[in-house]
Amino acid sequence: MNSDSSVKLTQFSRFAGCGAKLGPGLLDKALCGLKQPSYPNLISDFSHAEDCGVFRLTDEIALVQTIDFFPPVCDDPWTFGRIAAANALSDVYAMGATPVTAVSVVCFPEEVLDISYLRKIMEGALDALAEAGAALVGGHTVRDHEVKFGLCVNGTIHPDRVLNNNRWNEGDVLILCKPLGVGIINTAARAQIASVEEERVALQSMMQLNRTAAEVLSQFSVSACTDVTGFGLLGHVCEMATGNDFGACLDVNAIPLLPQVEAYADMGLIPAGAYANIEFRSKFIQNFSELSDAMQHVLFSPETSGGLLAAVPENEGPLAIAALAERGVSASIIGNIRTGYISVHI
């Protein structure tokens, strides 16, 4: 059993963070055609790619539920725990809801890793939960040869205020509340190429809760919202367009990136999940072939604990950006909603 503080958590996993998710093509095959009985109070379930399930409890309260867990994105256990919790909480914020309770999900290689590492992971998660005002009420553990950690988070919201991810309107603008690139920086860090400062900036971005962004956006007429995680920016934009009459046109030059992300992508330092995302969804993106290979992978690269992606009326866009900046959230308008398909332009 190893209690050496020099042990690297990332050596216990083949993947990192949301890059460990099954590809969208496999998920589509697994879930397609699944049916369950009709429940009158069920507002959202697995039949559409929403961030959470939602169930009406009363006329005033709906229960919002999600689960998210993954292998380490870094070697420091406290930081990993904080990031995993922030990522799980993000789904609830994306629905416009308030997190209330959480249950931990743990896979742990007890034969080779000292239990003190799990304690530090839990301490990091509790730090994020305390900031969110959500109570940890329990958990479940299993032995595994890889470390994995995350949370099932429960939240509440008024049934009429649930934010769906595919209800945007023509003329809306899209706001992204965190820069892209943490998956690529993680890959470069594992290859010992990213600088200490570049890795620090990426970790700080992942540790940041989307709570403030959600609070600010609640003051505006948000028509659709999601968070950018394992399917990459364009993958989640595709989900937002599903079942909708309108597509989105993204301005690639307006999309914020962490430093050196495009350069590392050009070097081939790309999470494996990006390739599956491109294979399954790039065919839905007009002008995609006009992008450089590096930018194609950046826009489909898995993000861990990424930012909220919200659609608001065009006249509210600049006001929302200013309000977010006032609260310390760096956000950008990256595109607009219009009739037609999803497209990108440079």
Q: How far apart are CA 325 and CA 245, in angstroms?
A: 32
* Residue stretches of the chain with pLDDT short of 50: 1-3
Predicted local distance difference test score (pLDDT) of residue 341: 78
Q: Where are the domains of the chain?
A: 9-161, 172-345
pLDDT digits (tens, 9 = 90+) for 305-337: 999 999 999 999 999 999 999 999 999 999 999
Q: How far apart are CA 228 and CA 239, in angstroms?
A: 11
Q: Which amino acid is at 233?
A: L
Fold of 172-345: Phosphoribosyl-aminoimidazole Synthetase; Chain A, domain 2 (3.90.650)
52 is catalytic: no
Predicted local distance difference test score (pLDDT) of residue 3: 46
Distances (CA, A) of 76 to 94, 203, 298: 27, 10, 25
> pTM value?
0.92
- Pick from 301, 222, 234: which is nearest to 261 by CA? 301
Q: How far apart are CA 71 and CA 68, in angstroms?
A: 11
Options 18, 74, 177, 238, the catalytic residue: 18
Mean pLDDT in the chain? 92
Residues in Cβ contact with 120 at an 8 Å cutoff, skipping those fewer than 6 apart:
77, 78, 81
Q: How far apart are CA 181 and CA 189, in angstroms?
A: 12
9-161 classified as CATH 3.40.50.720: no
